[in-house]
Chain A
């Protein structure tokens, strides 16, 4: 296995998510210690010193986000966990919500104490069924046990937690759209400044962190920043939950210590490519991150700096393995259909740009492609970059430019011949696949 485990540190059983078992494993002891022996400032100091980066995709330093909150500004502060997991290829937060929901609840309580939050929220995507039931079950258990609500564990600290269900919108995973959605409105992202830590939910200072990021808070406080930093590498402390899917022999969620060789992870831990096929490329961290070829990943380690050095990102940890023989034109078509569908329509470059990109690639796949289409797609993508309120326009552009840069020949072939160089395949051998499912 690849490195030390922080979140996946216990055997999962049908009852391991329930409060009784969590407490038998030492759950909520860190909260008890925090509430009785630490000041809010000390908690934030520890989290900052741990150097943890956001695990939702943007890798923003958590301590820096938290430090914007002024504890004595005599106004309410809010905390939101972003459980709107919807970046294609990403299903890691679902593992926490289903298997370790109390880890999130306890960590959120510690964070709420540090940030002096009375009302916290988990924004969970509307389609999630079991993850919602598991989380709501954990919240109900916590209320019952006096771990949520008034005077938690007999201290002066009180905090309420609402699990807020989305209703089907990719863009609501963007922090400002998320809080607009919690306000009961259509999920339009907001312009910054002001930052959400200055004016967020109902215009009050609000911290929004990813589920996995928050779930690490209890671990950081329990271990202490110094010990936590011994896991991972200097610029990327800790671990990442990687969800791996696509043409991979053993798909699933794995906890990977930062600094692990990526090729070792894919070929040893995950069993390599389905059916023993050769690897064409991977999408490393959600479909918005740039693809990496077999050669790119041969020597790279899995951490933020190293992934950036080969031209991509850790992103959301949503890794997709793509076997040789897969048609990259059709794959990009699937992605662009998705982005077009999910563009909220607020900003012109994204609303129109996604439509243009989608229509152009549909034309190519239908055999109506023109040689100038390839450059047009790159031009539209680049024109989107930095011109929209949220990062979705940029993200679609990265994906498009990344695939065209590495597989331009497949686009040229498709346009010249009116058909795919790879037979239009998205699946590997069907028989092998059915066997893998059996």
Chain B
């Protein structure tokens, strides 16, 4: 349990980021610091909150609130490939519900779950601003647009 890697090595990067903000804007770095930590670790651990609180001098409750308010922050690891399928209006009108059912069936998991081998996590999300190229699935950070069942299968074949 005590083997968790510290994120202190990111502090020089945080310092560089800070230089583009006016003085007194330390609190503003809360979101970007957490984002960078999550990129590195895959999620935000308890120890990371300590680090951000200490580094920025912001109240701990502020960091906890940010983590629970914004949907992109994760407190737990996800699979190697994190699939986020939009199911809002335009995507649904272009087949998102079928796509999500297909993904769930192929992966053998429901949205919100991770496959037993830790390879895939499936989530559904709301509008990603990809309505003209619907339906869309995000894999980790990359948009995959104009999805069809065939294209989904091809994509899953590439992700191993």
Contacts and interface: CB of A to CB of B under 8 A. Distances in A.
Interface stretch (A5-13, A84-92, A357-365): A84-92
B30 to A, nearest CB: 3
B132 A320 contact: no
Given A246-B90, A338-B88, A127 B129 contact: yes
A253 B131 CA distance: 10
A164 B28 contact: yes
A187 B66 CA distance: 8
Residue with the greatest number of chain B CB neighbours at <10 A, chosen from A89, A90, A344: A89
Interface stretch (A380-388, A404-412, A425-433): A425-433
Contacts of A244: 132
Interface in B20-43: 20-22, 24-25, 27-32, 34-35
Contacts of B66: 167, 184-186
A337 B125 CA distance: 11
Interface in B126-146: 126-134, 138, 141-143, 146
A334 B97 CA distance: 11
B95 interface: yes
B93 interface: yes
A296 B56 CA distance: 55
Contacts of A89: 89-90, 127, 131
A151 to B, nearest CB: 17
Contacts of B98: 427, 430
A164 B28 CA distance: 9
Interface in A273-302: 283, 287
Given A185-B66, A426-B97, A430-B95, A251 B88 contact: no
Contact of A119 (B21, B29, B90): B21
Nearest to A91: B129
19 contacts: A85-B129, A87-B127, A88-B90, A90-B129, A119-B21, A126-B35, A126-B70, A127-B128, A127-B138, A130-B143, A164-B31, A185-B30, A185-B66, A187-B69, A202-B25, A320-B131, A326-B93, A344-B69, A427-B95
List of 3 A-B pairs having minimum Cβ-Cβ separation, nearest first: A184-B30, A168-B71, A167-B70
Interface of A: 76, 85-91, 94, 118-119, 125-130, 160, 162, 164-170, 181-187, 202, 243-247, 251-253, 283, 287, 318, 320, 322, 326, 331, 334-335, 338, 341-342, 344, 426-428, 430, 433-434, 437-438
